[in-house]
Structure 1
Amino acid sequence: MKTHLYKMLLAAGIILFSISSCKKFGDTNIDPTRSSNMDPSVQLTTAQLRFSGDLNVNERTSFMMTMPLVQHIAGSYSNRWGGIYFNSPNVMGVLWEDSYGSDLVNIIDAVKRTTDVAAQSNLNAVCRIMKVYSFARMTDLYGDIPYSEAGLGIKAKFDTQAEIYDSFFRELTAASVQLNTARDAVKGDIFYNGDINAWKKFANSLHLRLAMRLVKINPTKAKTEAQLAFNAGVFTSNADICKTVHEDIQNPYEEVGKGNIKGNGVSASFFNGGAVPGRFTTPFLNQLNSTNDPRMKYMVKNYVDLPGGNPLNRIDITEPLLAVTGGYFGVNPGNYIWDDFKSAIAITVPGVGAYSALNNDQKAQPANFLLRFNAPFLHLTYAEVELLLAEATFRFGATFGGTASSHYQKGIEAAMLQLSLFPGGPTIPSTEINAFLQGNALIAGRELELINTQLWITLFLNGPEAYANWRRSGFPVLTPGTNAEEPGESLTIPRRFEYPYTEEEQNRVNFEKVLPALGGVDSWNGRVWWDKL
């Protein structure tokens, strides 16, 4: 498998190098020089690996912005952009610049190359699904974006998010139907290794996720599309999870050609450049603690502070520290790790001896297994599907295969068990899961809060998706972060990413057409189409 992956990476790296070389000639929407015989399966590999393997994108989009915005992590200086609300178009613009210039160009072209090619019918369907998935992350963060004209070698117009979502639903429905086990074998597929039935379920489950985005802006359409997705067949177990299994490599920053995307880019961002790894926030720890969530003792650890480093050389001091403190300390939203400073605590660490646990040591961190460089990136999980079905059942009625309560319980159980997918991760005993379910039933009048709070926990390490679900649902209720010594640039939690300067400069005519929908200004406090009050 590693040899096969290495060969695909080499080919993908060649594509990426040629594309990144073309970017300097102008607009990120300009189609790079096209090869007449490009292999679309390699283009698929490129799009898949870059999604979670590109350190440049994942560090800024997840670690610096969306994970702090949803108050999963805080404390690192690099968390300040999304945690204290420092507005940096350069940070927000990297996803746009890198995606339009590489993975989106590749997947758009792969769809074109395989359209109406009988011998590549399944590959075409898979690429269409991957195109929707890639563009969904973009539009959910920015709002209106170039879509229908992207990659055509022109100054692309911005499609409205409503138009884009209509296209998403059509594409996912058609691609799911098009997939057929009797047709071509799909090569280059990192997600499912060409499993056609798995791709059908992924297409339908992604359809469900996107349908539930519309519950505020168009609940009737949300219900219709959610039902269509469910009827077509969504995930039914953790075996269906869509994930990228990364290699145990710390992706370097700004590598020539940006070709090394084998490791987990989110994990690498916690340890990049000698930075202090982000800590859990106090609200996240309070949620786990107040509900006696068994995940807490597995996911939350204390380590000897070692800026930079890697997740396999950290010294675990959790048990001796808890024996003294009686509980975990997090970082308050908007704060740095040195705020709320803790005095040193004398402890004895097995195998090490006497140790003075300083302030940084006492602020709780994600466990090693979560941040290993070969940790899987979970794109879409069975747990998320079940929790979305719980909400759909509550909102729309009992036409989704169970009660809201049964879906809720299945979602929580799946979320706890999916931790075992991580190398070195735990298999939480059924006794602990059942005890949690018995003590945390779905309560009448609080259904949306409880379901989406569980989604908030489940989506840890998938910052963009957690941010999207928080905005569409409003839960959990988060208090904006503040820092008395270093005030941020927003009094509320920002609701979207601002467009990069290059788009305003190089595509001004089309750029200016989207501003009225944002209140006349490109502000991160504006709202995307589906995120309405």
Structure 2
Amino acid sequence: MKTKSIIAVFIACCLGTVSCNKFGDINTDPTRSSDLDPALQLTNVQLRYSGDLETNEKIHLCLTMPLVQQVGGIWANRWGQMYIYNRLYLSSLWDYSFRNGVADMVSAVERTKDNPQQSNLNAICRIMKVYEFARLTDLYGDIPYTEGGKAYIGGITHPKFDRQEDIYANFFVELKAAAEQLDPAKDQVRGDLFYNGNVNAWKKFANSLRLRYAMRLVKVNPEKARQEATAAYEAGVFTSNADICLLNHEDIQNTYADMRGNGLSAAFTQSEVLPRVNNTFIEQLRSTNDPRMQHLFRYYIDIINRPFDRIDITDPVRAQIGYNGVKPTDYVWDEWLNPIQIQLSNGTTMEAVNNDQKVQLANFMIRNNAPFLHMTYAEVSFLLAEAAVRWNVNLGGNAATHFANGVRASMKHLSLYPSGPTIEDQQINTFIQGNSLIPGREIELINKQMWITLLMNGTEAFANWRRSGFPILTPSITGESTTNKIPRRLEYPINETEQNRANVAPAIVALGAGGDTWVNRVWWDKQ
């Protein structure tokens, strides 16, 4: 599917006002002007990241969320759930990001770098530039970085590829410099949908990203990982849920043209049959008596094209069969279940058929106005807990303290969703007491909780699974699978391998035997 090239330009930004994490009416401009306001480019990139339907559908719903066995069961999940090769889907993020988010941020950084009146804007755009490139390199490996995006703004038609090791080294330099550059006494940044121009919040976000990327290196360069993780903590990372970087979307049905709604939510709800929860994921919560389970997983009778009018039948179905999703190898119509008779709270008796007996994500998780959580205090806490285990370092607490902080913060995330539940403190305390870290299994237990925390952020869940090795997933191989291994990266687009052959060739060699395949590993994922 060809990407529709649309730039969102906001009236609120043009007026110099934007409420925190909210946005107003959209105008569209099909061209990228050389004198486009960098603040508008920032707005556009922030919204596209989670509002664009095409990439969120293909990368999260079709590939990464099924790959890490969070959801599955429908036709759209098959590519990631059952490892069915689709080169077009593997190429989607590359094609879309380089011409949009990357090009905008490269342009905005370049045009603000020498303007003292845009010092904070420049720093924020530098952070966003790293954030955009990180998603690409984590999924593909070596990519055009120093010349990335310049095909659209600088006339470079065959950009060179940079090694992922070098790209990461520059990430740390950029995030450190950008955080130090931010100054509350300097320019007020408008058009910022994440933090409404709060530079102190951006400092914490930059340092927290630095921690995230530092921990990517635990397999390939543990000493560099330790150094950067320590430096990130000392510079000031998230310390509570008040620091979370998120975007609150509008309650508007997202389309390929209108990105105000949550793009992943639109991907979920546009299907006649909605994704089911994977039994692997259900079992993690069931085996630990996780209080989130009753809120996250619900049984519904679907109403075609009216996803939020579907009938909640959780209580009577759960009373008969407990929580039942789909196996990693199954579609929702596999292992067909016979109808059961249930009685609703109003006394009505009805029949729940096969599809009704496969549990789904609750409505509040996939509404159009569901927030997209870019980075959370819970993630920071789990990363600090893992650092404490790996290197016996005290970065504001020991592993047990950070783990407990992460669990508590993660459970409280649900209240950030409109109509989301509030998990009571006593429930959280009981869970923590019953699921403390076990010597020798700390990293496993920490990253299983990270897996839950990163639900609805498939690309990050996929990255953390590859980085940490947890949870241990059994490959979901079927007769349709085109590989017997769980894929670990995305393949380069055909137009890149054909039209930029000389530059992509070293990147393919660096992947090792087999070359540009989706079962090969990026640099930081090497065993």
Match of 2:391 in 1: 396
Match of 2:166 in 1: 163
Deviation at 1:505, TM superposition (A): 2.2
1:304 pairs with 2:312: no
In structure 2, distance between residues paired with 1:385 and 1:434: 20
Decide whether the 8 Å contact of 1:460 with 1:466 is kept in 2: yes
Aligned residue among 61, 64, 87 for 1:63:
61
Secondary structure of the equivalent of 1:201? helix
Secondary structure of the equivalent of 1:425? coil
1:177 pairs with 2:171: no
Match of 2:130 in 1: 132
In structure 2, distance between residues paired with 1:394 and 1:180: 35
Q: Which amino acid aligns with 1:366?
A: L
Decide whether the 8 Å contact of 1:387 with 1:407 is kept in 2: yes
Match of 1:90 in 2: 88
Aligned residue among 437, 441, 447 for 1:446:
441
In structure 2, distance between residues paired with 1:232 and 1:76: 44
Q: Which amino acid aligns with 2:110?
A: K
Match of 1:211 in 2: 214
In structure 2, distance between residues paired with 1:94 and 1:499: 10
In structure 1, distance between residues paired with 2:331 and 2:347: 28
Larger CA deviation: 349-358 vs 387-396: 349-358
Q: Which amino acid aligns with 2:163?
A: T
Aligned residue among 326, 329, 347 for 1:334:
329
In structure 2, distance between residues paired with 1:297 and 1:392: 32
Match of 2:149 in 1: 151
List aligned pairs for 1:122-521, cutoff 5 A. Answer: 122-152=120-150, 153-154=155-156, 155-253=158-256, 258=257, 260-272=258-270, 274-310=271-307, 312-325=308-321, 327-351=322-346, 353-483=348-478, 486-519=479-512, 521=515
Deviation at 1:5, TM superposition (A): 7.1
Percent sequence identity over aligned pairs: 54
Q: Which amino acid aligns with 1:418?
A: H
In structure 2, distance between residues paired with 1:338 and 1:354: 24
Q: Which amino acid aligns with 1:359?
A: N
Deviation at 1:221, TM superposition (A): 0.1
Deviation at 1:513, TM superposition (A): 2.2
Deviation at 1:464, TM superposition (A): 0.1
Q: Over residues 416-458 of structure 1, what are the superposed CA-to-partner deviations in whole Å (9 max), with x where a residue is unaligned?
A: 0011000000110011001100100011010010000000000
Q: Which amino acid aligns with 1:491?
A: N
Q: Over residues 56-97 of structure 1, what are the superposed CA-to-partner deviations in whole Å (9 max), with x where a residue is unaligned?
A: 000000000000000000101100000000111101111111
Decide whether the 8 Å contact of 2:45 with 2:105 is kept in 1: yes
Deviation at 1:275, TM superposition (A): 3.6
In structure 2, distance between residues paired with 1:12 and 1:44: 14
Deviation at 1:13, TM superposition (A): 5.0
Q: Which amino acid aligns with 2:195?
A: Y
Larger CA deviation: 520-529 vs 44-53: 520-529
Match of 1:31 in 2: none
1:115 pairs with 2:148: no
In structure 2, distance between residues paired with 1:162 and 1:278: 36
Q: Over residues 160-216 of structure 1, what are the superposed CA-to-partner deviations in whole Å (9 max), with x where a residue is unaligned?
A: 100100110000000000000000001110000111110000000000000000000
The TM-score normalised by the length of structure 1 is 0.92
In structure 2, distance between residues paired with 1:428 and 1:301: 16
In structure 2, distance between residues paired with 1:43 and 1:223: 34
In structure 2, distance between residues paired with 1:352 and 1:105: 58
Decide whether the 8 Å contact of 1:276 with 1:308 is kept in 2: no
In structure 1, distance between residues paired with 2:403 and 2:429: 13
Decide whether the 8 Å contact of 1:419 with 1:426 is kept in 2: yes
Match of 1:29 in 2: none
Decide whether the 8 Å contact of 2:123 with 2:182 is kept in 1: yes
- Go from structure 1 to structure 2 and tell me whether the alpha carbon gap of 1:455 and 1:107 turns closer, same or farther (over 3 Å shift): same
Secondary structure of the equivalent of 1:379? strand
Q: Which amino acid aligns with 1:404?
A: A
The TM-score normalised by the length of structure 2 is 0.93
Decide whether the 8 Å contact of 1:246 with 1:375 is kept in 2: yes
Deviation at 1:130, TM superposition (A): 0.4
Larger CA deviation: 108-117 vs 349-358: 349-358
Larger CA deviation: 281-290 vs 316-325: 316-325
Unaligned runs of 5+ in 2: 1-9
Aligned residue among 44, 47, 60 for 2:45:
47
Aligned residue among 518, 523, 526 for 1:529:
523
Decide whether the 8 Å contact of 2:342 with 2:349 is kept in 1: yes
Secondary structure of the equivalent of 1:85? coil
Decide whether the 8 Å contact of 2:43 with 2:193 is kept in 1: yes
In structure 2, distance between residues paired with 1:381 and 1:429: 19
In structure 2, distance between residues paired with 1:70 and 1:351: 39
Decide whether the 8 Å contact of 1:301 with 1:367 is kept in 2: yes
- Go from structure 1 to structure 2 and tell me whether the alpha carbon gap of 1:54 and 1:148 turns closer, same or farther (over 3 Å shift): same
Match of 2:5 in 1: none
Deviation at 1:324, TM superposition (A): 2.0
Unaligned runs of 5+ in 1: 20-33
CA RMSD of aligned residues (A): 1.6
In structure 2, distance between residues paired with 1:57 and 1:371: 16
In structure 2, distance between residues paired with 1:529 and 1:55: 29
Q: Which amino acid aligns with 2:40?
A: V
Larger CA deviation: 387-396 vs 274-283: 274-283
Q: Over residues 135-154 of structure 1, what are the superposed CA-to-partner deviations in whole Å (9 max), with x where a residue is unaligned?
A: 10110000001110112221
Secondary structure of the equivalent of 1:194? coil
In structure 2, distance between residues paired with 1:366 and 1:308: 17
Q: Which amino acid aligns with 2:192?
A: D
Q: Over residues 275-314 of structure 1, what are the superposed CA-to-partner deviations in whole Å (9 max), with x where a residue is unaligned?
A: 421111011111100100000011110000234433x212
In structure 2, distance between residues paired with 1:129 and 1:307: 42
Aligned residue among 6, 12, 23 for 1:4:
12
In structure 2, distance between residues paired with 1:6 and 1:304: 45
Decide whether the 8 Å contact of 1:80 with 1:334 is kept in 2: no
Secondary structure of the equivalent of 2:525? coil
Q: Which amino acid aligns with 1:497?
A: L
Decide whether the 8 Å contact of 1:74 with 1:331 is kept in 2: yes
Q: Over residues 219-275 of structure 1, what are the superposed CA-to-partner deviations in whole Å (9 max), with x where a residue is unaligned?
A: 00000000010000000000000001100112124xxxx3x1100011111112x34
Deviation at 1:399, TM superposition (A): 2.8
In structure 1, distance between residues paired with 2:315 and 2:196: 41
In structure 1, distance between residues paired with 2:115 and 2:123: 11
